[in-house]
Structure 1
């Protein structure tokens, strides 16, 4: 793998991402059992509208496209906000293109964003992961992320 780099998402890339991401997020909410599909779709639309009201120009939000050489391999969305003990980051989304997964791109994206956060003086990086996404959970644990809360459910 060539050196992975993060570049700011273009308007065209953002539009493609947004359409795909809302649908994927809604599907994951429904698959998790948190909400039925119609409510999950509504929640996904509302969450994206609330979090990114100005799209790429939303203050504090950074949306990058990841490149391995000339190839676009994925994306990462990070929000940074100031708290009393310094800036904190939250990764809202990370995606590696299907067909390119399990080749180290996700790990490389997190290493790149972690370096950028260190340069910005960020105190911590948080994220959420659906319980059923075991490969992602394993990767995050390998990268040093720790569980801060666990929500559980029993289907009847």
Structure 2
């Protein structure tokens, strides 16, 4: 009887984890209309990262990103595992992830997954925007 309950609990916990870390199938095309909730990613509204060396390894990054859109994407697809304030829950803390991983490494983790993280949580420009935003967290 104990084995049956343990097996049922384990299956429930696994299902809950998969649902919590599941991506959002809705794609936001950001048509440019202001409907009160959409943010259009443009050069004017983008946040420029520090152009020059980042101080840690001498790499230069001149990537810009839309911080509001990145945070919104993060809250929808990542916060259930990494926490609403990047503090980490079942996934690792991301408050200073840019100090240990490059933007390309973060993008690779988002697109291809990592230990315990499923692949494809975000795609395309949305994934690139969140990777640039997280890379700036040092």
TM-score by length of 1: 0.21
Larger radius of gyration: 2
Higher strand share: 1
TM-score by length of 2: 0.23
